[in-house]
Structure 1
Amino acid sequence: MKIRRTAALVAATVVIGAVSAQAAVADGASPSPSPKVVLPSGLYGTSDPTYDGVWRQSLALVAQDTVGVKPAEKAVTWLAGQQCENGGFAAFRARPGTACDAKTTLDSNSTAAAVQALVAVGGRKAQVSKGVDWLRKNQNDDGGWGYNPGGASDANSTSVVLGALAAAGEKPADVTSGAGKSGLDALASLALPCSDDRNGGALAYQPDKKGKLAANADATAAGVLGALGTGFAPGKGEAPDAYTCEDGKAPEDLAHNGAVHLQNQLSTHLYLKSQLAGAEDQPDYGNTADAVTAVAAAEGVKYTKDPYAWLEKNAKSWAAQSGPAAYAQLIFAAHATGNDPRDFGGTDLVSALGKTGPAPASAQSDDGREKTDKDDKSDGGGFGTWWIVGVMFIAAVGAGFLISGRKKQQP
């Protein structure tokens, strides 16, 4: 799933965060938007949107839909206006009124995230259809998707596309390449066998140059949701008969085994560790939120109670620094575990997310009536925003499932 947390820019098709959001929290940094980018009034977040504008907007809209909030029309219009005529989306287009050309770098993650968001808000059937067509046309022979068209398939990109296909009413298993392979086949090829004592059931981001698979927590969390076909905001799953890795390549096996691996990781510290250089024992809040979401969606809530409580206690400052996508990730975790996102350790995640962008058109109150923005004036009014670290998207995550170092290795 996960805009996912951050890392460093490594290649033309592997775009990673320039500065770590976690580092900003630790260092007390107060970054601001790039002076070269004028922030659109319909956009969520105040950091430079060059590398994550569509991604964070999409997560924000899906999260609001999940909790019964109708977003501002200009927020939806901005996202829809980012689509190119061929159906694809770039990470951000500063001048959406102009036609896309050969220099416009489209990517599967932005396109698939936008499709999920446009399905959620409703009323954008034609644009959803065009987005799905673009994704179909850019499927690799192995059934998966890379970040950019023609790039090698990776677990994160494939998973967010599978979520988009399912949201749009497609059957992911039936969306196949010319070679007859689906995205689920691609995920299965990236799963580590149960015979791997430490990492059995985990997914790799991609094979290395020698074809070896290395467990990656971010890829695993994304892969669980991709196999389930749930998109960013899954509901609570059913507890399995056994919490052990079981041989099999069917989608339900991939989801179960990936969740087993993640819950084993969470049981050690209650959180996943950051793999950024010099991070030492620093938590990766975004990956932890994604892991909690994935485990709850595949295995129920038995093994998510303590990690979720840890997030409630420790992740609020991270979300405030990181902005709309981080709030969305926490809302997804609350939703999947059956918790109230309006009381996340005393913080109203829904209100906090809403304040990072244009005021929502309406929301559903606790008594079931529709409430408008006017009802929320006692909450301080305005659109309070957070100054956050500028983030870049991994092309080769989080986000997402979060730009979070999709290439990094997670023990």
Structure 2
Amino acid sequence: MNVRRSAAVLTATAATALIGAATPAVAASPSPSPTAVIPAGLYGTADPTYDGVWRQSLALLAQDTVGVRPADQAVKWLTGQQCATGAFAAFRADPAKPCDAKLMVDSNSTAAAVQALAALGGQRAATDKAVGWLKSVQNADGGWGYAPGGASDANSTSVVIGALTAAGAKPDQVLKGGKSPYDALVELALPCDAGGAFAYQPDKQGKLAANADATAAGVLGALGLGLAPEAGKKADAVCAGTGSPTPQQAAANGAAYLAKAVAKDSHLMSVLPGAENQPDYGNTADAVVALAAQGGAEQAEKPLGWLEKNAGAWAKQGGPAAYAQLIFAAHATGSDPRAFGGTDLVAALNATGPTPQASGEAATEKPGDEDTRDDKDEKDNKGDSDDGFGVWWTVGVFLVAGIGIGFLISGRRKQQP
């Protein structure tokens, strides 16, 4: 699952390599900052070079999903990362410096930011500009790769579909050469005799290989959904049909593949060359979301139960993006994220960054937050304002082939059981 422009490889931080929390596949400028300085307003304490915008977007979206109003400081950090073109990079150490050709902007960071800002409201100008940029880099097959001009992949195309939906656009009407994002996604769907999964990308010979990560992403993309959907109507996950499926059937086929993949152990496994196989927490969480969205909460009951029993330590080490993934899994299944296997995921997420303005019924502001708050009415009127890791990085596009990193992250290993 990758887009390669160079063979040079960098190793990410040791902590990320151990826990594999959600990070974008190719998420860095070719000239990352030499020191891990954590900006005020950013969630998490790990080096943000490769995943700052991604983890911030997931954190803010997860907070909104559970009724938490994020700190203005956190929202302003995210909006301040946007380039004048509308695009986002994984991280800009100096937002005051204009974006230039050397900065690697990408579809994943941009689409995740759109989903978060659209959910929060009051950021119409920012989301419209970002969607305009995404449309400008759409590939001729209707899809998106991680970086502009890169070959379309299931993960990137799916996260962009979620962004388009969140911003009020209709993905089937976002066309390039007569092709929509759904056309690109269906082309990456395997037939039922090959399991019904989605592939990340065709290999060099044009063949498709089943990938659980791409499948979890592809199911949501084919349904036109974003990162934080609610449970769908009860439906069986059965692979059916021949030839090119409809997006809805491709989603059902993909769900059938995921259901089979988690049937034995109730979780997915990570398979990396030269490494011992181990549970894949992040992609299991993504599979829960996909299964519930396609066929209802009951379809995801077993892997959800496994996460409740086993994912606490992973999330604690993984930080905001990992907590967000589990919150999305709880939300999609109607579970309580404040009592998730003995962990209050919401409180744990909130503790990784600026104290939210309000959590449920109580305001929990830090002193000084009043100075950075936007007009309350603007925030409340959502959408009405015009304001705006065994993980390896391939230099240039920084390929990731990680352990348990979230499904909307392109550039992962090409096969997964």
Change (3 A) 1:221 1:62: same
SS at match of 1:269: coil
1: CA distance between counterparts of 2:277 and 2:405? 22
2: CA distance between counterparts of 1:407 and 1:16? 16
Superposed, 1:50-129 pairs within 5 Å as 50-129=49-128
Superposed, 1:300-379 pairs within 5 Å as 300-364=296-360, 370-373=361-364
Change (3 A) 1:403 1:243: closer
Per the normalisation by structure 2, the TM-score is 0.84
SS at match of 1:321: helix
Q: 1:21 Cα shift?
A: 5.4
Q: Indicate if the aligned counterparts of 1:14 and 1:396 stay in contact, CA closer than 8 A.
A: no
SS at match of 2:227: coil
Change (3 A) 1:15 1:251: farther
2: CA distance between counterparts of 1:185 and 1:163? 15
2: CA distance between counterparts of 1:99 and 1:181? 33
1: CA distance between counterparts of 2:10 and 2:328? 23
The aligned counterpart of 2:268 is 272
Q: Indicate if the aligned counterparts of 1:10 and 1:16 stay in contact, CA closer than 8 A.
A: no
The alignment status of 1:207 with 2:202, answered yes or no, reads yes
Q: 1:76 Cα shift?
A: 0.3
2: CA distance between counterparts of 1:394 and 1:372? 41
The aligned counterpart of 1:381 is none
2:219 to 224, 227, 240: 224
Q: 1:12 Cα shift?
A: 5.0
Per the normalisation by structure 1, the TM-score is 0.85
2: CA distance between counterparts of 1:141 and 1:307? 37
The aligned counterpart of 2:18 is 24
Q: Give the partner amino acid of 2:223.
A: L
Q: 1:13 Cα shift?
A: 10
The alignment status of 1:246 with 2:240, answered yes or no, reads yes
The alignment status of 1:237 with 2:237, answered yes or no, reads no
Q: 1:391 Cα shift?
A: 8.6
Unaligned ranges ≥5, structure 1 = 1-6, 27-33, 365-369, 376-387
The aligned counterpart of 1:379 is none
The aligned counterpart of 1:382 is none
Report % sequence identity.
62
The alignment status of 1:410 with 2:401, answered yes or no, reads no
Q: Indicate if the aligned counterparts of 2:3 and 2:151 stay in contact, CA closer than 8 A.
A: no
SS at match of 2:315: helix
Change (3 A) 1:125 1:396: farther
SS at match of 2:159: helix
2: CA distance between counterparts of 1:166 and 1:17? 35
Change (3 A) 1:222 1:243: closer
SS at match of 1:303: helix
The aligned counterpart of 1:191 is 189
Q: Indicate if the aligned counterparts of 1:235 and 1:297 stay in contact, CA closer than 8 A.
A: yes
Q: 1:281 Cα shift?
A: 3.3
Counting matched residue pairs gives 377
Unaligned ranges ≥5, structure 2 = 21-32, 367-388
Q: What is the Cα-based RMSD across aligned positions, in Å?
A: 2.8
Runs of 4+ in 1 over 2 A off after TM superposition: 7-26, 276-281, 388-408
Q: Indicate if the aligned counterparts of 1:205 and 1:216 stay in contact, CA closer than 8 A.
A: yes
Q: 1:25 Cα shift?
A: 5.4
The aligned counterpart of 2:375 is none
2: CA distance between counterparts of 1:190 and 1:9? 15
Change (3 A) 1:289 1:16: farther
2: CA distance between counterparts of 1:223 and 1:64? 24
Q: Indicate if the aligned counterparts of 1:52 and 1:391 stay in contact, CA closer than 8 A.
A: no
2: CA distance between counterparts of 1:156 and 1:322? 21
Q: 1:280 Cα shift?
A: 2.7
Q: 1:24 Cα shift?
A: 2.6
| 43-52 or 294-303: bigger deviation | 294-303
2: CA distance between counterparts of 1:182 and 1:172? 7
The aligned counterpart of 1:134 is 133
The alignment status of 1:181 with 2:187, answered yes or no, reads no
2: CA distance between counterparts of 1:280 and 1:39? 33
Q: Give the partner amino acid of 2:323.
A: Y
SS at match of 2:55: helix
2: CA distance between counterparts of 1:153 and 1:249? 18
1: CA distance between counterparts of 2:275 and 2:333? 28
Q: 1:406 Cα shift?
A: 2.2
The alignment status of 1:263 with 2:254, answered yes or no, reads no
Q: 1:114 Cα shift?
A: 0.5
2: CA distance between counterparts of 1:172 and 1:15? 35
The aligned counterpart of 1:299 is 295
Q: Indicate if the aligned counterparts of 1:21 and 1:318 stay in contact, CA closer than 8 A.
A: no
SS at match of 2:269: coil
Q: Indicate if the aligned counterparts of 1:82 and 1:90 stay in contact, CA closer than 8 A.
A: yes
Q: 1:255 Cα shift?
A: 1.2
1: CA distance between counterparts of 2:3 and 2:62? 27
| 34-43 or 217-226: bigger deviation | 34-43
2: CA distance between counterparts of 1:139 and 1:352? 37
Q: 1:66 Cα shift?
A: 0.3
Q: Give the partner amino acid of 2:189.
A: A
